[in-house]
Structure formats: C-alpha cells, structure tokens
C-alpha cells in the first residue's frame, strides 16, 4: 500500500532531526522520491546509510538506502578580479583563467605566493595550489585549482558586469586599459610605457607595463584588459584610488609562454592570428599579427615587431614601433 506524502515527509523530517546531531559526511543526500513513493538515503557505503536510518528511528520502515558514487560538491567559477587567500592569510586577486593541458587554474602575480602555497577562494573554501611562481626578475605565477572551481573567460567589471576575454593581443602605448581587483574593483586609465624596469624593495622586475590606473594592496594579481583582450596582471605601483596613482602590470603573454599555459577565452569570439605559409601576405586592417609575421603593403615587405590587432590608422609605413621594413 502506498504511503501518503504526509507520511513520507514525516519520515524525511525525522532524518533531518537525526542529521542535526551527527556527522553526515558519509550520508550526503536524503529526500522524498514521490515517483517511487519512498524516502531515499544516499550514502557512500551501505553501512553508513543503515546507521543513519536507525538513528532516525526508521529502521525496518520503507526507507531505501542507495550507495552514491561520490559526495556532492559546491561549484564556483574562476573569475578575474575575485579575491583569493594564500595560506589562509594574505589576499591577492585572480588574474585570468588558464589551463595546463586538462588542469584548470588562473594566473596572478608572482609576489602573491610561492610554489606549494595553498589557496582558498573568495568564499574561503579550498581552491588550489601555486604550481609555479617567479619573483623578482618577473612577477608571474599560476595556481592550479581543484575540481570545485571552473575556469571561465570572465573578468569582473563595473556594477556587477562581467567582461569575457577573447584573446591576449598586446595594446599599444596610449591605449585605454582597465583593471579589476578585489580591493578597489574596476578602474581605468592609459598605457604609458611597455618594457619598464621597476626596482621594488623586494627586488627588481623587468618587462612591466606602466599605466595611469590606480590600485591598492590586495589588487595585486588582478587582470588588466584592453577591450576584451587580456593584457596582464597587477604587479605594483604608487598612490591609491582616492588621490590617483601609477601602476605596473606583468604582461600576460610571457606568463602563458613561461609556464606553458592556455588562456581561457570566450568560444567563437577570439580573432585568429594571420596564418603564415612563408610568403608575405598583404597587410589588412582588423587582422591579428604576431611578432615575426611578415606582410606586404604598397609593394614593400615588413616584419611585425610586437603582437597587435591592425587598425586602419596603423599602416606599416607609419608605425615603426609595430613594423620593420625588410
């Protein structure tokens, strides 16, 4: 004879009451299965499920014990600009989601942690481990995350918006750039110089990019974007976001190259680099050119000096910072 919903709910309530006074790590799930007209307990092993049912005073009643393959887990996204904590103490900011083969994670500043340091996420749950870190000299690191965290192309922007990264084409001096950080949020400015050497108290770092964007402690490691193109992660600076300041970021492409990482990007939105088959191709606005690529323009051949997305105003003859005549 089938049991009423009230009967099933009453049995479920007794399980709820029993759970309040015991460790349910081995019995992670219990519920009313209205289709089967049963109360179900899912346990990591049958003995644990049977003991839980007995503790609720339901032994011998119509409660099914089923063995679960694994315990449910919380899921969280890796989002640029979110806080993360190192060894449950210091705080930095997530840069960009990456993968190393099948292993997800994120890049951040090298001064945030050393290889082997453990991290917790913005919600203070276990997150991952620093796999590699370089500082001083460079200011780069990456964290491999556990299976509770999912790599996404998202970066936290203003007023709760999320920008999806589509690539990592380096922006030119004078370009607008914005950054996200767990202390001060979203701020924008302009790129002043590339390949800057900075002498911090902790040591010298070369190859940084200087900007007019402000930042404060805790923003370290957070992402810089030019449009939807990843630029780098916050290294250091001076001033603050009340009076203004100067910041330096570690460019992202050297991080990817040094550690063998792949940037997580929004599917179908990234602009593919121009293929090279050995013969120079005609320069075209809108194309992404990698350093070393060769093109022709008005019968003249040029070699690309730095990766960028070509603009109509940046023809090779007039942009010696980007193109060298060959």
Encode pLDDT of 193-245 as tens digits: 999 999 999 999 999 999 999 999 999 999 999 988 999 999 999 999 999 99
Per-residue confidence band for 75, with pLDDT thresholds at 50, 70 and 90: confident
> Do residue 58 and residue 94 come from a single domain?
no
What is the DSSP secondary-structure string of 147-202?
Answer: TTEEEEEEEE-GGG-EEEP-B-PPPPTT-EEEEEETTTEEEEEEEEEEEEEEEETT
Model confidence at 8: pLDDT above 50: yes
Give the catalytic positions in this structure: 111, 139, 220
- Asked, for residue 118, whether it belongs to a domain, the answer is yes
pLDDT at 264: 92
> Do residue 79 and residue 150 come from a single domain?
yes
Q: Is 49 left (phi over 0), alpha (psi -120 to 50) or beta?
A: alpha
Q: Which of 141-150, 280-289, 291-300 is the most confident on average?
A: 141-150
pLDDT at 272: 36
- Asked, for residue 276, whether it belongs to a domain, the answer is no
> Do residue 46 and residue 85 come from a single domain?
no
Per-residue confidence band for 273, with pLDDT thresholds at 50, 70 and 90: very low
The arithmetic mean of pLDDT across residues 68-76, rounded, is 79
- Mean pLDDT rounded to a whole number for the chain: 90
Domain span at residue 14 reads: 5-67
Of 27-31, 51-55, 292-296, the one with minimum mean pLDDT is: 292-296
Query: What is the CATH number for 62?
Result: 3.30.300.50
**pTM for the model:** 0.69
Query: How many structural domains is the chain composed of?
Result: 3
Model confidence at 150: pLDDT above 60: yes
Query: What is the CATH number for 310?
Result: 2.10.10.90
pLDDT at 1: 54
pLDDT at 53: 94
Per-residue confidence band for 281, with pLDDT thresholds at 50, 70 and 90: confident
Q: Which residue has the tokens 């730095």?
A: 306
- Asked, for residue 260, whether it belongs to a domain, the answer is yes
> Do residue 224 and residue 90 come from a single domain?
yes
> Do residue 209 and residue 308 come from a single domain?
no
The arithmetic mean of pLDDT across residues 88-98, rounded, is 95
| Boundary-marking domain end, from 24, 43, 67 | 67
pLDDT at 163: 92
Per-residue confidence band for 323, with pLDDT thresholds at 50, 70 and 90: confident
Q: Which residues contact 214 (CB under 8 A, 6 or more apart)?
A: 184, 187, 189, 237, 239, 240, 241, 244, 245, 247
Which two structure tokens, joined as six digits, stand for 120? 């917790």
Percent above pLDDT 90 for the chain: 73
pLDDT at 207: 96
> Do residue 304 and residue 207 come from a single domain?
no
> Do residue 31 and residue 147 come from a single domain?
no
- Asked, for residue 275, whether it belongs to a domain, the answer is no
Model confidence at 268: pLDDT above 50: no
pLDDT at 270: 35
Model confidence at 269: pLDDT above 50: no
Model confidence at 299: pLDDT above 50: yes
Q: Which residue has the tokens 């011998």?
A: 60
Residue 237 · residue 247 · CB < 8 Å: yes
| Boundary-marking domain end, from 223, 239, 270 | 270
- Asked, for residue 90, whether it belongs to a domain, the answer is yes
> Do residue 222 and residue 309 come from a single domain?
no
Of 53-62, 143-152, 249-258, the one with minimum mean pLDDT is: 53-62
pLDDT at 309: 64
pLDDT at 286: 65
> Do residue 78 and residue 63 come from a single domain?
no
Which two structure tokens, joined as six digits, stand for 48? 């644990």
> Do residue 135 and residue 202 come from a single domain?
yes
The C-alpha atoms of residue 272 and residue 291 are separated, in whole angstroms, by 14
> Do residue 120 and residue 249 come from a single domain?
yes
- Asked, for residue 13, whether it belongs to a domain, the answer is yes
Q: Which residues contact 170 (CB under 8 A, 6 or more apart)?
A: 194, 229, 231, 251, 253, 306, 307, 308
Per-residue confidence band for 275, with pLDDT thresholds at 50, 70 and 90: very low
> Do residue 199 and residue 245 come from a single domain?
yes
| Boundary-marking domain end, from 67, 89, 117 | 67
Q: Where are the beta strands (DSSP E) in 212-305?
A: 223-226, 229-240, 244-251, 262-263, 281-282, 288-289, 294-297, 300-304
Query: What is the CATH number for 125?
Result: 2.40.10.10
Q: What are phi and psi of 9, to 5 degrees?
A: -65, -40
Q: Chain-centre distance of CA 184, in angstroms? A: 18
- Asked, for residue 87, whether it belongs to a domain, the answer is yes
């Amino acid at each position: 004879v089938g049991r009423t919903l009230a009967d099933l709910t009453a049995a479920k309530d007794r399980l709820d009451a029993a759970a309040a006074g015991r460790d349910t790590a081995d019995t992670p799930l219990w519920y009313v299965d209205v289709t089967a007209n049963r109360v179900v307990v899912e346990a990591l092993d049958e003995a644990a499920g049977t003991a839980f049912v007995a503790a609720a005073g339901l032994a011998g009643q119509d409660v099914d014990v089923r063995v679960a393959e694994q315990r449910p887990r919380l899921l969280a996204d890796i989002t640029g600009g979110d806080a993360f904590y190192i060894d449950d103490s210091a705080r930095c900011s997530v840069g960009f989601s990456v993968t190393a083969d099948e292993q997800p994670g994120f890049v951040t500043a090298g001064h945030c942690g050393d290889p082997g340091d453990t991290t917790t996420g913005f919600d203070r749950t276990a997150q991952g481990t620093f796999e590699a870190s370089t500082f001083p000299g460079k200011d780069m690191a990456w964290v491999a995350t556990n299976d509770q965290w999912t790599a996404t192309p998202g970066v936290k922007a203003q007023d709760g918006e999320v920008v999806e990264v589509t690539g990592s084409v380096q922006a030119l001096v004078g370009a607008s750039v914005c950054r996200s950080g767990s202390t001060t949020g979203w701020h924008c400015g302009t790129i002043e110089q590339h390949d800057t050497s900075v002498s911090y108290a902790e040591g010298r770092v070369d190859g940084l990019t200087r900007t007019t964007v402000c930042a404060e402690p805790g923003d370290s490691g957070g992402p810089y974007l030019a449009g939807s193109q990843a630029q780098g992660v916050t290294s250091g600076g001076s001033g603050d976001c009340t009076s203004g300041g100067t910041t330096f970021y570690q460019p992202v492409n050297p991080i990817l190259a040094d550690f063998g990482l792949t940037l997580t990007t929004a599917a179908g939105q990234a602009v593919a680099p121009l293929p090279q088959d050995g013969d120079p191709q005609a320069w075209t606005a809108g194309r992404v050119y990698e350093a070393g690529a060769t093109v022709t323009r008005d019968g003249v051949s040029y070699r690309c000096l730095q990766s960028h997305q070509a603009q109509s105003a940046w023809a090779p003859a007039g942009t010696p910072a980007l193109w060298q005549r060959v």
